[in-house]
Amino acid sequence: MNHELSSTTFPPGFLWGTAIGAHQSEGNNTASDWWYREHLPDSPIAERCGDAIDSYHRWPEDLDLAAGAGFKDYRFGIEWSRIEPADGAISHAALDHYRRIVEGAVTRGLRPTVTLHHFTLPLWFAARGGWLAEDAVQRFLGYVDALAPVLEAGVERVMTINEPNIVAVLPKLASSNGDTDLTQGLPVPDEALTKVMIAVHRATVERLRTRHPHLELGWGVSVQDYQADPGAEAAADAYCEPRDQVFLRASKGDDYVGVQTYTRGLISADGTPRLGPDPELTQTGWEFYPPALGGTVRRVARIVGDVPLIVTENGVATSDDTQRIRYTTGALRALRAAMDDGVDVRGYFHWSLLDNWEWGHWGPAFGLVAVDRETFTRTPKPSLTWLGSLAPEA
């Protein structure tokens, strides 16, 4: 079915938002492990985050841009390293900062979705062993407990961990700027980190359900549209099992599972992903393949059963905004077709609201809004108004 996109393409109440990452946009996250790594003399990280795009101070303008374009939802992150910059030292000023963002979103008619962990850690936590420390789960729960004033200020939805499967491969990517080549194949996630990510998620969901029962709880998994060559279905399954499927199955019992999709990979009988034939490539080197979103949500639905899906990230790295609109149009049509076939999808968040730092690089432009890195002037692209105009009825 070739859907013509409009504000009625998706049902009333369907989440319609943009997403943004804390460290990537706020700037000067000086108490974090990533800041430390970025400033090492021989850092493998090509470009530093620095001031980022100063969203720590300019968040009201960012909210105005999202709400003014017609979006109904807003996903943003909270930095643990700001809340607890030193071991046991909770910053009430930081709590108040994030509380004001939540209240600002609600005032503008935006439903807040909050991400609790998006790759970065407090430096003190990383230095004592990070996620592999014996008490890592309990230390994270202490941070979660401290967020009560923020979560009770109007947050509707929490994402415990952004892309836990990528977190579990970060040590293997540490010497390569943290780059993730989604089409050429990811390393197998570290088994110990995989278990910890699942344990942290499950413990956080249990804690939040007890203390904040109004919240919808889940996490966002990086899941691409891996397509098996004829006869290579077993190889594709073996490839996907440790890289995303084990994390998807851990979503059982959650209120939703977040799906974060950008491209596809073709998998041959030897289990190696590759690009499609004569591919059009994005700024990240990924294949420009809008239907990936439809294929991905269909695969996720088969794995998670009755857990609802939310597309918590989808977008394209390009300096050509007409290409961004073309990509998103194809992705949304594929998403609607999957829903017509019975896939239970409850919302769509575009990555990202603003062009921001992409984990070691300033080049990839995913944003609906351009940002001057010296003046921090925000300049909306045509895609912002176009995508916002498709928002379903609240």
Q: Identify the pLDDT of residue 394.
A: 85
Round to whole Å and give the CA distance between 121 and 129.
Answer: 11
Say whether pLDDT at 308 is over 60: yes
- Give which of 267, 258, 260, 261 is closest to 239, Cα–Cα: 267
Say whether pLDDT at 375 is over 70: yes
Round to whole Å and give the CA distance between 347 and 297.
Answer: 12
Q: Identify the pLDDT of residue 172.
A: 84
Q: Is 172 helix (H, G, I), strand (E, B) or coil?
A: helix
Do 54 and 27 contact (CB within 8 A), yes or no?
yes
Render pLDDT for 113-135 as a digit per residue (tens, 0 to 9): 999 999 999 999 999 999 999 99
Render pLDDT for 332-341 as a digit per residue (tens, 0 to 9): 999 999 999 9
Q: Enumerate residues 6+ apart whose C-beta is below 8 A from 148.
A: 211, 212
Least confident of 86-90, 178-182, 237-241, 291-295: 178-182
Q: What mean pLDDT is predicted for residues 283-294?
A: 97
CB neighbour class for 87 (10 Å; exposed up to 12, middle 13-18, buried from 19): exposed
Q: Is 337 helix (H, G, I), strand (E, B) or coil?
A: helix
Beta strands in 271-366 (DSSP E): 273-274, 309-314, 345-351
| Average pLDDT taken over every residue of the chain | 96
Q: Identify the pLDDT of residue 182.
A: 62
Render pLDDT for 204-249 as a digit per residue (tens, 0 to 9): 999 999 999 999 999 999 999 999 999 999 999 999 999 999 999 9
Render pLDDT for 164-181 as a digit per residue (tens, 0 to 9): 999 999 988 875 555 566
Q: Identify the pLDDT of residue 181.
A: 63
Render pLDDT for 20-50 as a digit per residue (tens, 0 to 9): 999 999 999 999 999 999 999 999 999 999 9
Q: Identify the pLDDT of residue 176.
A: 54
Backbone angles phi, psi at 114, to 5 degrees: -110, 130
The structural domains of the chain, ordered by start, are 15-388 (3.20.20.80)
Q: Identify the pLDDT of residue 193.
A: 98
Cβ neighbours, 10 Å, residue 146: 17
Say whether pLDDT at 191 is over 70: yes
Please report, for residues 71, 178, 221, 224, 252, the alpha-carbon distance to residue 14 in angstroms, rounded to integers and kept in the order given: 11, 33, 20, 22, 22
pTM: 0.97
Do 363 and 283 contact (CB within 8 A), yes or no?
yes
Do 373 and 358 contact (CB within 8 A), yes or no?
no
Q: Identify the pLDDT of residue 276.
A: 94
Render pLDDT for 356-366 as a digit per residue (tens, 0 to 9): 999 999 999 99
Q: Identify the pLDDT of residue 1.
A: 43
Q: What mean pLDDT is predicted for residues 376-391?
A: 98
Q: Is 57 helix (H, G, I), strand (E, B) or coil?
A: helix
Q: Identify the pLDDT of residue 177.
A: 53
| DSSP character at residue 280 | -
Percentage of the chain surpassing pLDDT 90?
95
Q: What mean pLDDT is predicted for residues 98-116?
A: 98
Say whether pLDDT at 2 is over 90: no
Round to whole Å and give the CA distance between 173 and 189.
Answer: 10
